[in-house]
Every structure is written in structure tokens, then in C-alpha cells.
Structure 1
Amino acid sequence: MLKEELRKRARSMVKIPADFQTIIEEYADGENGDGEAMFSWINEERDEGITVKLDLEGNLTSLTIDMNHSHTNEINLSVEERQERAEQFLLLHYPNALEDLTFYEMKKLNDAYRFYYERIVMDLPLKHAGSLIDVDSEGNIVKFSYKAALEIPEIPTTLIQKEKLIEHVHNRLDFQQTITNLYTNLHHVAEDGIRLVYEPEPSFMTYKADVLSPTLSIVHDEDVQENYVSLQPPPNTAAQKDLSLETIIGITEGMEMIREVDMGEEKGVVWRDRNWKMEDHDLSMDSFFKRHSEDTVKAFISKKTGIVRSFVWFNERSGNLKLTREECLVKAIDFLQTILPDYDKYLQLMVRDSEEEFEDTRKKEVFSFRVHNGKGIPVQLEIVVVAVNRETGLVDHYSGPSMDIEQLSEISTEPAISKNEARDIFFNHLDFELSWNKDYGGESESYILVYQACDRYSRTPIRYIDARTGEVITAKDK
């Protein structure tokens, strides 16, 4: 279809409110004649939006409708009625879809039910193929996606025995004692919270199902060895207190706040130079990102504490300095002392053995710090990052801990079960489940049948063993 025809077709599929404005019209030609057209409309004041994606033949491939207003009528359709609406919508756009796709499962979301229609082979769905449809309480389709499977995999004639896989895991598995933040929307736990756990290593346990000796479906490179250096506060330097957010981030008088967004526990704030003007303006994706990000400074701030959790300068700053990496590290430590006064108790500088010396032309020096509980036990996925501009000595990027690190000192570090007991619990729950995964090793799209390690009861991956209670903590999704 021509661009004008695609635009008209996109508008015919959804009702665009009068107070919405067009922000994106993007046309992308792909290989072999395929491609995509994307259209987005928003009401920026209410943070509402509608996005439609079509293939170049005009078929709907994706629809997202984000509206903040609450439902005003008393319609509250049953699950069965919502599924009927989902199938009607699917067949409206793909009349023959149910010849290839089968209803597979349904999930309850906050204000909608999500229905999955999958291409099934060996009673298993092909990943990243099929359709998902979200239907709200009034029967409105608020999310839709469709992707056809380009190649149907052959069914293997022979599968490896699970016992061989369990033996292979048994010979290589170890456990790392760590602290982690658990969330009810991600894990099968009763409540959110920080816990001392044993984490299985390696955590990736997905094997090719049709190879008769244990063979991982993805071979990971050897991990780069990292060393951790303890920190001390700078001598004779008092931490600055009661600094404004703007001072900490480096916002100048010549800048203004252009956007503030409520993001739940945090708020996002964006600044830009008062005199900034965009030279070229169109409805492309590139233009959209320029309007929202070019020459800006973006920060995320905790609404509970008012502390800056992270910020990044997209506005390039230049100067006449030529700081070494060691001098930049001093600047980074000075900054940490300001924003995290007790940083030396909970942070360790991460140093890689294979870290190469960068050329003097490198504009920024980036430092990563591992978060631990004050007694050397690491906090999983908690990394503090500080990037110092070598020309200005200023911090251009900071990413802090997602939690109040002082909470870490309150967590008991004495496990009630040993590593060997955690290992026994793990293997009492370990099983393997067949699944179709995308095979990214070939030149074209294809699938590979794998055995994915899982908990024998929840059928989802085992993430941790609670070091205090022995509870098996599993993921909510596969």
C-alpha cells in the first residue's frame, strides 16, 4: 500500500479522540519486501496514547491503547464474553487465523484479561508467534499483536533422557549466597521484600532436546573475572548536605523543567535549555526521540525520600580539562559522598582483569560499584554507576541503588540452612520441561526444541532457595 493508504487504514481501525495529536508516522521497508508502518497519537497532558502498527499490505500487526480515565458505566463482561470479543477481533483482521492458531491460555491483568492464541506443535506453543489480545471490563480491545510463524519446525524423532540432564546439572551446579529484592509480580512469594537467599549458578539451564548428550542451547562466553575493591571516604573532606536536586544533577539557571511524569514510586523530571529549538520537525521516530531527548537532562527521583535515584545528561558538556581515570575516580567518590553519605560501607569498586586502557580521546570515564550488605554479601542486580566527564570533571550519568541501602544492615546474614541443604532442596524440586525456543544461530527464522529447567510443582524456573526458611522461590512466568 501507499503511505497515504496506510495512514487512512490505520485511522479507520481506532477512534482517535479529538484532543489527541499525531506524533509518529513511520514507514520502514524491510528485507524481501516486508516492512512496517507505525502511527502514534497522544494526549501529552493526560499521558494517554494510541499506537497502531501495520505491515505494508495494511494488515494490523499491533495495537496499544493507553487511557487513564476510569470506566463510567456499569458494564462488566465475564471472562467468556471477553474471550468472545477477543476472537471476534482476531477474526475481523485475520479471518483464517483459527485454522492455524489455538486458544492456549488466559491471564488476569490489572484491568483486563489477556488471551493467547498460539501456533501449537507437539502440544507446545511456538514462541514469538501467534496473537495476544487484551480485553477490558467493557469489552474494549486495549492491546493486540499478531505474528505468523514463518517456518514450522520438524518434530524430533528422539529426545534426550531427563536423567542425563539432571546428572549434568548435579555435576556443575553451585550456589551463591546473595541478597535479593523479591516482588510478588515476578516471583511466587507472599509479599515483596528483601531476603537472604541461595542463588543457583549457573542459572542458565536450557538444553537441546534432540541431542542425546547434554548440550546447552546457548553457549555463553566465559565470564570476565571481576575484582572488588573496598572504598574509603576521601580524607579531610566533609560531605555536603542539604543540596538541591538541581545542584546535585548540575542543572543551571539557563535551563527549565519541560516535563514531569508520575511513575509510581518515582517521578521522572526532564530539563532543557530555555532557548532550545528543534531545527527540523517531522513525524518520524527519529524526530520524536529528538523532541523528547535531544539536549535534555533526565532524572528519576524517589517520591518517598526525595533522593535522586538516577540521572543522565543528553546535553553534551565540554571543557578544557584532561583528567586521567584516577582523577575521575576521585570525582566519582566525591559525588558518591554527597549523594550516598555511607557509600563506603556498602559499595565496592568493580575492576575487571581484562579491562583495557582507553585512549586519551575517551570523553567519559565510567565506574561501576557492586552493592553489598556491609559484610560482603552482594545484593543481586544492584550496581551503582557513575560516569565522569574528563573535560569538565562533572558527573554526566549516575544510576543509584533501587533500594534504601541502609535497610541492608537490618537483614540477618546468618543462614538457617547450609549450602548443601539448599542443594538438596533444589534437586528435590528440579524437573525439565519441553519448550520451543527461537534459534538465533541460523540465517533465517527457525525454532529449536529445548528442555528448560523448572520446578516440578509450579513448572516455572527456580530462582532461589531462601537461606532462612528453605523456601523454593520460583519465577511467575517461564
Structure 2
Amino acid sequence: MEKEELRKRALSIVQIPVNFQAIIEEYVEGENGEGEAMFVWINEESNEGITINLDLDGHLNSLTIDLNDKDSNEIPLNIEERKKRAEHFFLSHYPDALEELTLYEMKKMNQTYRYYYEKIVMDLPLNSAGCFIDVDPMGEIVKFSYKAVKRIPEIPRTLISKEKLIEHVQNSLDFQPTIKNLYTIIYNVAEDGLRLVYEPEESIMKFKADVLTPTLSIIHDEDVPETCVPLPPPSNTVLQKDLTIKEVVGITEEMDIIREVDMGEETGIVWRDRNWEMNEEDLSIDGYLKRQTKDTVKAFISKETGKVRSFMWFNERSGNLQLSHEDCYQKAINFLQMIIPDYHKYLQLIVRENEEDEQDEARNTEVFTFRMHNSEGIPVQLEIVVVAVNNKTGHIDHYSGPSFDMEKINEIPTKTAITKKEARDIFLTHLDFELAWETDYNGDIESYILVYQACDRYSRTPIRYIDAMTGAVITARDK
């Protein structure tokens, strides 16, 4: 179909409210004729939106209707009635779909029910294939995603025994204490927050199922050699003062706020020169990104502390300086001293081989990356601090700080209450394996590989950590 035909097709699927406006109409075609059309409408005032993705023949790939909840006196439909609505919608777009797909699972998500229709092989669903449909209390379809099954995998003739896998893990399992910022949306924990935990060195354990010796199914990219260099206490005195958000980010008097978005724990703020104009009306994704990002400055502010957690300058600033790497490093350190008092107690500079080749010459920036640890040297997992210094202006073009209030790191115990051996024994007591189909990207054609993935024998979800103070098993939430 041509773009205008696809647009009409999209409009026939969902009635777009009159107060919505089109912001994206994208049409992408690949070399082999495959492709997709994407249409997005929003109501900026109410922060509502509708997104439709079609293939180039006009078939619905995905649909998202994000409208604010409206109070209703109507009685919500029950599970079975919503299932009928879901299947009616599915069959109206893919009449033969249920001949190869089966309702595999149903989950309640707030007031919405999600129905998973999967292709089942060996009583297991194929990964990233099939369909899910979200139905709201009134029976409206609010989310839909469909991906056709391209190739049915062959069933292996032999499978490795779980006993061999458990024996392999027993012989290789090791733990290291670490601090992790845990979120209830991701992990089965009572509340969000930092916690001292033991992490297994191979935290994601997946093995090929159709071999007789334990073989990792995931080949990790070769790590770039790196070292972490401790930071000495500052030799110079940087005046400590309460800086405003504008002063931290570097906002000038000529810039105004164009967007302010509630993002849960943070507030997103976007500035742009008040005289900025975009002359062309381009509804492509590239045009949308230009309207949203070009010549802007974006920052994320912690609601808890009111402080800047990160910012990025997309607005090019000119200058005639020619700062060296060492000059830029000192400016980065001076900035950290203002933002994170006693930064040298918690950060180490990451130095990689061939690091000079990684610098972004086009943006004239020197990027400095720091790992985080507590006062006893226990690492804070996945917490990276980044400072990018413009060597032409001396300004900070990008800063990404800790995801939590730095004062909280001192509230975490510095010594574990249980030993490595105790953590290991707890892990092995809970360890089990289950089969799953995973997408295999190693071949020329997308296919599937059967794997055994480690899980907790009770919750059947992956074991991620052992609480270093209580010995509790911390598992991932189900999808």
C-alpha cells in the first residue's frame, strides 16, 4: 500500500478524538520489500496518545491507546467476556491466527487483563512470537502486539540432564558482595531502595539444552580491558554554595522551559531559546525528534532531593578554547565536587585501553566515566557517573549522576551478616532449571534455540541476588 492508503487503513482501526493531532506519519521500506508504517496522535495538554504500526500490506502489527482513566458507573466485564473481546479483535485482523496460536497465559495488570496467544512447541511458547492483547474493564482493546512465527524449530532428540547443570553450577559458583538499587517493579522485594546483596558471578545462567555437556547459550562480547583509578582528595578549594537548577545545567536568560513532564520519581524539564522556530512541518520520526530535541537542553530532577540527576545539551555552544584532556578532566572533577560532596570517597575513574579513540571528536567533548562504591570499597552495581566536558567552551555538555540520594549509601551496612558459603548454600537449595525457547540470532535466518534457564524452584523466576544481611532469595518479577 502507498502511504496515504496506509494512513486511511490506520484511521479505520481506531477513532481518533478531535482534540488529538498527528505528530508522526512514518513509512519505512527495506531492500526486500518488507517494512512498516507508523502513525502517532497525541493530546499534549492531557498527555494522552494513540500509536498504530502496520506492515506495508496494511496488517496491524501493534496498537497502543493511552488515554486517561475515566470514571465509569458501568459494571466491569469479567475475565471471560474480556477474552471474547480480545479474540474477536484478533480474528478481525488475522482470521486464521488461532489455528496456530493458543491462549497460553492471562495476567491482570492494574485494571487491565492481558491475554497471551503463543505458538507452542514441546508445551513451551516460542520467544518473541505470537500476540498479546490488553483489554480494559469496559472491554476496549488498549494494547495489541503481533509478531508472526517465521520458522518452527526442530525438537531436539537429546537433552542434557538438569543434574549435570546443577553439578556444573556447584563447581563454578562464586559470589561477590555488591550494593544494588532494587525496584519493586523489577524484583520481588517489599520496597524500592539500596540493599547489600551477594550476586552470583554468572547472574544469568542459560545453557544449551540439546548438548550433553554444559555450554553457555549466550556468548558475551569480549570485554574491553579497563582499570579503575581511585580519585585523590581535591587539591583546590571549590566554593560550595546552593546552586539553582539553572546554574547547575548552565541555562541562560535567553532560554525558556518548553516542556515539563512528570516521570514518577523524577521531573523532566526541557529548555530552548525562546526565539527558536522550526520552519518545516515534517511528520517523519526524524522530524519529530528534531521538534522534540534539536537545540534543546534536557534535565531530570529528583523529586526527593530537588537536585539535578542528569542533563544533556543538544544545543551546540561555540568557543575558541583548546583544552587538553587534563584540563577537561580537572573541570569534570571541579563539577563533581560541587554536585557530589566527598566524591573522591565514592567514585573511581574508569580508564580503558584506546580510550582516546573513543572521544567524540564531532562534538568536541572529553567524556569521563566513574564507577561507584561505598566507603569500604563495595561496588554499587550498574551505578555509573558520567561527565562530558566541551573542550572548546569548557562547559559541561552532559552529566549523568547517581540514581539515588548519595546520603543513602552511608545508611547501607558495610559488612555482610552471612558468609559467601552461606549465600552459596542458600542459592543451591533454591536452584532449579526449566526449558525455554529463545531467539537465536547467530544464523542468517531468525530461528530458535532450546535452553535451560536457571530459576528459583519455588517461584519459577530467575534468582538474581541473595540478601547479604538476611539470606533472603531475591528473584526477578515475572514478565
The alignment's TM-score, normalised by the length of structure 2, stands at: 0.96
Partner residue in 1 for 2:403: 402
Q: Distance in 2 between matches of 1:428 and 1:277?
A: 63
The C-alpha deviation readout for 1:138-161, integer Å capped at 9, x for no partner, is: 111110011111111111111111
Partner residue in 2 for 1:8: 8
Partner residue in 1 for 2:77: 77
Contact 1:239–1:337 (Cα < 8 Å) also in 2: no
The C-alpha deviation readout for 1:83-112, integer Å capped at 9, x for no partner, is: 221111111111111111111111221231
C-alpha deviation, 1:379, in angstroms = 1.0
Question: Which 4+ stretches in 1 moved above 4 angstroms?
Answer: 356-362
Q: Distance in 2 between matches of 1:360 and 1:463?
A: 35
Partner residue in 2 for 1:228: 228
Partner residue in 2 for 1:243: 243
Tell me which moved more, 328-337 or 278-287: 278-287
C-alpha deviation, 1:192, in angstroms = 2.3
List runs of 5+ in structure 2 lacking aligned partners.
none
What SS is found at the alignment partner of 1:281?
coil
Tell me which moved more, 169-178 or 400-409: 169-178
The C-alpha deviation readout for 1:251-304, integer Å capped at 9, x for no partner, is: 111211111111111111001112212243221111011100111100000122
Alignment of 1:144-163 (within 5 A): 144-163=144-163
Alignment of 1:161-176 (within 5 A): 161-176=161-176
Alignment of 1:445-460 (within 5 A): 445-460=446-461
Alignment of 1:83-232 (within 5 A): 83-232=83-232
Partner residue in 2 for 1:301: 301
Partner residue in 1 for 2:343: 343
Question: Could you tell me which amino acid in structure 2 is paired with residue 367 of structure 1?
Answer: F
Partner residue in 2 for 1:368: 369
Identity %: 69
Partner residue in 1 for 2:430: 429
Q: Distance in 2 between matches of 1:225 and 1:364?
A: 22
The C-alpha deviation readout for 1:348-389, integer Å capped at 9, x for no partner, is: 222235645667956111111112121111111111111111
Q: Distance in 2 between matches of 1:331 and 1:83?
A: 59
Q: Distance in 2 between matches of 1:85 and 1:221?
A: 44
Q: Return closer, same or farther for 1:134/1:451 CA change in 2, 3 Å cut-off.
A: same
Question: Could you tell me which amino acid in structure 2 is paired with residue 146 of structure 1?
Answer: Y
Question: Could you tell me which amino acid in structure 1 is paired with residue 32 of structure 2?
Answer: N
What SS is found at the alignment partner of 1:5?
helix
Q: Distance in 1 between matches of 2:209 and 2:69?
A: 48
Q: Distance in 2 between matches of 1:176 and 1:145?
A: 40
Question: Could you tell me which amino acid in structure 2 is paired with residue 76 of structure 1?
Answer: P
The alignment's TM-score, normalised by the length of structure 1, stands at: 0.96
Question: Could you tell me which amino acid in structure 2 is paired with residue 318 of structure 1?
Answer: S
Partner residue in 2 for 1:411: 412
Q: Distance in 2 between matches of 1:163 and 1:316?
A: 59
Question: Could you tell me which amino acid in structure 2 is paired with residue 426 of structure 1?
Answer: F
Q: Return closer, same or farther for 1:18/1:166 CA change in 2, 3 Å cut-off.
A: same
Question: Could you tell me which amino acid in structure 1 is paired with residue 413 of structure 2?
Answer: S
C-alpha deviation, 1:233, in angstroms = 4.1
Partner residue in 2 for 1:48: 48
Contact 2:434–2:454 (Cα < 8 Å) also in 1: yes
Contact 1:233–1:333 (Cα < 8 Å) also in 2: no
The C-alpha deviation readout for 1:319-356, integer Å capped at 9, x for no partner, is: 11111221111101111111112322222222235645
Contact 1:224–1:354 (Cα < 8 Å) also in 2: no
Q: Distance in 2 between matches of 1:132 and 1:31?
A: 29
Question: Could you tell me which amino acid in structure 2 is paired with residue 409 of structure 1?
Answer: N
Contact 2:117–2:131 (Cα < 8 Å) also in 1: yes
C-alpha deviation, 1:222, in angstroms = 4.0
Q: Distance in 2 between matches of 1:273 and 1:391?
A: 21
Tell me which moved more, 141-150 or 207-216: 207-216
Q: Return closer, same or farther for 1:91/1:348 CA change in 2, 3 Å cut-off.
A: same
What SS is found at the alignment partner of 2:453?
strand
Tell me which moved more, 24-33 or 426-435: 24-33
Q: Return closer, same or farther for 1:106/1:358 CA change in 2, 3 Å cut-off.
A: closer
Report how many residues are paired.
478
Contact 1:239–1:341 (Cα < 8 Å) also in 2: no
What SS is found at the alignment partner of 1:473?
strand
What SS is found at the alignment partner of 1:89?
helix
What SS is found at the alignment partner of 2:32?
helix
Partner residue in 1 for 2:445: 444
Tell me which moved more, 141-150 or 314-323: 314-323
Q: Return closer, same or farther for 1:276/1:242 CA change in 2, 3 Å cut-off.
A: same
Q: Distance in 2 between matches of 1:296 and 1:359?
A: 22
Question: Could you tell me which amino acid in structure 2 is paired with residue 413 of structure 1?
Answer: T
Question: Could you tell me which amino acid in structure 1 is paired with residue 442 of structure 2?
Answer: G
C-alpha deviation, 1:187, in angstroms = 1.2
Q: Distance in 1 between matches of 2:176 and 2:467?
A: 12
Q: Return closer, same or farther for 1:262/1:361 CA change in 2, 3 Å cut-off.
A: closer
